[in-house]
Amino acid sequence: MVADLFYYFIYPGFLFTAVVGGLIAGVDRKITARVQFRKGPPVLQPFYDFFKLLLVKETILPAKGSKITFLLAPVFAVFGASASAVLIMLPLLGIDAGFRGDVIVVFYLLTIPSLSYIIGALASGNPLAAIGGSREMKLIVSYEFTFILIIAGIILKAESSTSLYRIIEVQQTGNAFIGTASGVLLFIAAMFCIQAKLGLVPFDMGEAETEIGGGAFIEYSGSAYALIKLTKYMLFFTLPALIILFFMGGVQLTGIHILWSALKLIAVILLITLIRNTNPRLKTGQAMRFFLIWMNLFVIVAIVLSYLGY
């Protein structure tokens, strides 16, 4: 019990994910700046941002909204991110704890942050936040279908097991799933899904800074916004980790394998950053079509291929 609480709060749950996630967010900003021929902020900038928001900045609450819901929503977002993080990281890092959850549980826990953003946005009573919230919800509806199909494909490849440990084990005794044709297709679709889950360009219509002034987050400031930032950093580590778990055979923390593990993470993050820096924002309808038609088609082809043994 105490060990499980340690896993959840310190390592590899809340604190660990937040620190690594913050670093990843810093690297992401650095790369983005390089792509745009700028120098960019220091890598530790996300931490400065977080503590500035939490400790220094004043918090402005919406006069017309329901304030308690508005303030509690980010707390639940942090819960969703930490719970999914710990359930993904434990098998990924090979820690055999009594505390586990299967892939369906992880799937559902990962929707909690987005849902909390939406509820918080709508509780603020701001019409632009409502626009952002409704866009975010439509995006969720479109990518969830692709995402569950990807998970079904993974379950199929992992010999009908829903255990994350088993998924890694199957890949480490055989080949990583990305080594097959169906695995590549699933990987591509999964990359777009996590891009949408992270709310990054081209799927950032929910916040759309330049268009609806931050959309779902327009009313957030100070401490509450710090928690939202924290959730985003955590997801920036958790979701790439999930990709590594699903497709690249997880990580091993012995000898030369540490280097490989780090390279896997860097590769996934580089891919995310490059997609976000080389694409324009899609309209909601376009994004829905992209997932509901093209990505689903991709995944269905992949599932048929994996039935045939490719």
Partner 1 sequence: MDEAGYIILLPIVVGVILFIFPDKVKIVKGLITLIISLLTSFFAIRLYQTESTIVDLSIFSGLIAKDSLLYESISGIGTYCQLNIDPLSQLITLGISFFAVIISIYSITNITKEKKLYHFFPFFLITLGCAIGAVLSDNLILFLIFWGILGFTLYKLIKGYDEESSAAAKKTLILIGASDSVMIIGIALIGMIADTYNMSELNISTSTGIGIMAFLTLLVGSFTKAGAFPFHTWIPDYTKKAPAPSSAYLPASLDKLLGIYLLARLCTDIFTLNQWLSLIILTLGVTTIIIAVLLALIQHDYKRLLGFHAVSQVGYMVVGFGLGTPLGIAAGLFHMLNHALYKSGLFLSAGSVYQQTGKSDLDELGGLSKSMPLTFIAALVFALSISGIPPLNGFASKWMIYQGIIDFGKQPGIANQLWIIWLALAVIGSALTLASFIKFITGIFMGRRNPELESVKEVNILMLIPKIILALICISFGAFATGYFVPEIFFPVVGKFEFVGVWQSSFISLLVVLSVILGLLIYLSGNIKNFRTADSFVGGEKWEEKAAFPVTGFYDTIRNAKVLKTIYDKAEKGWFDIYLLTKHLVLSSNKVLSKVHTGVLTDYAIWIFAGLSIMLIIYLSV
Site for partner 1 in 151-170 (CB under 8 A): 152-153, 155-156, 160, 162-163
Q: Residues near 268 by Cβ (< 8 Å), separated by ≥ 6? A: 191, 240, 243, 244
Is-cis flag, bond preceding 41, omega within 30?
no
Interaction of residue 2 with partner 1, rule CB under 8 A: no
Q: Taking contact as CB under 8 A, which single stretch among the options 36-44, 56-64, 195-203, 261-269 is the one that binds partner 1?
A: 56-64
Interaction of residue 297 with partner 1, rule CB under 8 A: no
The whole-angstrom separation of Cα 30 and Cα 276 is 13
Q: Taking contact as CB under 8 A, which single stretch among the options 176-184, 233-241, 245-253, 283-291 is the one that binds partner 1?
A: 283-291
DSSP assignment of 282-309 equals PPHHHHHHIIIIIIHHHHHHHHHHHHHT
Between 77 and 268, name the residue whose CB sits nearer to partner 1: 77
Q: Taking contact as CB under 8 A, which single stretch among the options 27-35, 117-125, 167-175, 178-186 is the one that binds partner 1?
A: 117-125
Between 40 and 289, name the residue whose CB sits nearer to partner 1: 289
Show the binding pattern over residues 121-150: x = contacts partner 1 (CB under 8 A), - = does not: -xxxxxxxxxx-xx--xx-xx--xx--xx-
Between 75 and 266, name the residue whose CB sits nearer to partner 1: 75
Closest CA to 269 of 13, 14, 29, 15: 29
103 within 8 A of 149, measured Cβ to Cβ:
no
The distance of closest approach from Cβ of residue 219 to partner 1 in the complex, given in angstroms and rounded to an integer, is 7
Q: Taking contact as CB under 8 A, which single stretch among the options 113-121, 172-180, 194-202, 255-263 is the one that binds partner 1?
A: 113-121
Q: Give the tokens for residue 35.
A: 């792509």
The torsion region of residue 220 among left (phi > 0), alpha (psi -120 to 50) and beta comes to beta
Interaction of residue 49 with partner 1, rule CB under 8 A: no
Site for partner 1, residues 192 to 221, rule: CB under 8 A:
212-213, 218-219
Q: Which of 64, 256, 259, 309 binds partner 1 (CB under 8 A)?
A: 64
Show the binding pattern over residues 230-259: x = contacts partner 1 (CB under 8 A), - = does not: ------------------------------
Closest CA to 193 of 307, 291, 92: 291
The torsion region of residue 57 among left (phi > 0), alpha (psi -120 to 50) and beta comes to beta
CA distances from 229 to 8, 53, 119, 123, 145 (A): 19, 9, 16, 19, 27
The distance of closest approach from Cβ of residue 300 to partner 1 in the complex, given in angstroms and rounded to an integer, is 9
